[in-house]
């Protein structure tokens, strides 16, 4: 890891490492890793707030299934469809289900800044995304839900988008090391549903939906994301034994393949629940 005495030429803008370090330590004070999750080999996190913290620790953490894939692959569409069609696990006992989309409303215009000046805003945006993932998990725990479908997970922030930024040198060594330190506070999904779609098709869908902050995303970036996802699935996810269900969303709308996807998820839940 880089030292605190990093040359000024390596620093960017007004970014202050000591300020980030102080913020990190503060975050460590009000968060805690769940001991039971460590025993199962699955890291988790809850808020160490004075009220309700003990109760949260005693509860069984929810099963977290991450809906993953490239930008424009159909993640939010699938998540919304699972919710709107009332997806329920085919289990003997009642199972409560929660659906958690990306908390883009919390990003405060950070996405637009990130695409306009990636080098300046990469670290700040990655930290914002990681925080939103942590909040999704805390919310699912607070609700006492048994199963949570979530749009992406901290692993995508680290091993897909974060890996791209580290590889091309957008993140400094200090920023990359600090981001990895923050990842110690993150949770890991119990399984991943990966939506496979070509970068070319993703680009067409992104252009068609015209979401704020996504204008001008280059095809090369989507290709980098696709490659990083492949490396993540074949590397980290396989090494850690995280189940991955791959769904081809290239051939049509999510609605046309929903039943097949729901069936794959039901088979997965027979193992997880």
CA torsion angle 84 85 86 91 (round to 10): -150
Render pLDDT for 235-262 as a digit per residue (tens, 0 to 9). 999 999 999 999 999 987 888 899 999 9
> Which residues lie closer than 8 Å to 122 by C-beta, 6 or more apart?
114, 165, 170, 171, 175
- Percent of the chain beyond pLDDT 90? 64
- Percent of the chain beyond pLDDT 70? 78
* Domains identified in the chain and CATH numbers: 60-272 (3.40.50.300)
Q: Which pLDDT band holds residue 13 (cuts at 50, 70, 90)?
A: very low
CB 104 within 8 A of CB 133: no
Pairwise CA distance, residues 209 & 37, whole Å = 39
Minimum mean pLDDT range among 23-27, 44-48, 85-89, 175-179: 44-48
Q: Which pLDDT band holds residue 188 (cuts at 50, 70, 90)?
A: very high
The pLDDT score that the predictor gives to residue 1 is 38
In this structure, the number of other CB atoms found within 10 A of the CB of residue 222 comes to 22
Arithmetic mean of pLDDT over the chain: 83
Minimum mean pLDDT range among 51-55, 106-110, 165-169, 184-188: 51-55
Render pLDDT for 150-185 as a digit per residue (tens, 0 to 9). 999 999 999 999 999 999 999 999 999 999 999 998
Q: Which pLDDT band holds residue 19 (cuts at 50, 70, 90)?
A: low
- 86: pLDDT strictly greater than 50: yes
Category of 74 on φ-ψ map: left (φ > 0), alpha (ψ -120 to 50) or beta: left
- 218: pLDDT strictly greater than 70: yes
């Amino acid at each position: 890891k880089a030292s605190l005495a990093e040359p000024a030429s390596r620093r960017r803008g007004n970014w202050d490492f000591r300020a980030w370090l102080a913020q990190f330590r503060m975050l460590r004070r009000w968060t805690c890793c769940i001991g039971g999750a460590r025993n199962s080999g699955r890291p988790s996190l809850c808020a160490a707030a004075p009220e309700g913290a003990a109760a949260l620790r005693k509860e069984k953490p929810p099963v977290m299934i991450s809906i993953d894939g490239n930008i424009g692959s159909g993640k939010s569409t699938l998540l919304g469809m699972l919710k709107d069609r009332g997806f329920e696990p085919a289990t003997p006992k009642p199972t409560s289900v929660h659906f958690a989309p990306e908390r883009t409303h919390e990003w405060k215009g950070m996405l637009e800044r990130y695409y306009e000046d990636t080098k300046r805003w990469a670290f700040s945006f990655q930290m914002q995304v990681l925080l939103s993932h942590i909040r999704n998990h805390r919310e699912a725990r607070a609700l006492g839900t048994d199963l949570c479908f979530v749009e992406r997970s901290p692993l995508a922030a680290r091993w897909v988008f974060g890996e791209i930024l580290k590889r091309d040198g957008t993140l400094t060594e200090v920023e990359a090391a600090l981001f990895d330190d923050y990842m110690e506070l993150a949770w890991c999904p119990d399984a991943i549903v990966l939506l496979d779609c070509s970068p070319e098709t993703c680009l067409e869908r992104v252009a068609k939906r015209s979401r704020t902050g996504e204008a001008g995303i280059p095809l090369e970036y989507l290709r980098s994301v696709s490659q990083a996802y492949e490396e993540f699935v074949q590397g980290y996810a396989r090494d850690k034994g995280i189940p991955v269900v791959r769904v081809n969303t290239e051939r049509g709308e999510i609605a046309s393949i929903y039943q097949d996807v729901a069936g794959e998820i039901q088979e997965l839940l027979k193992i997880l629940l």
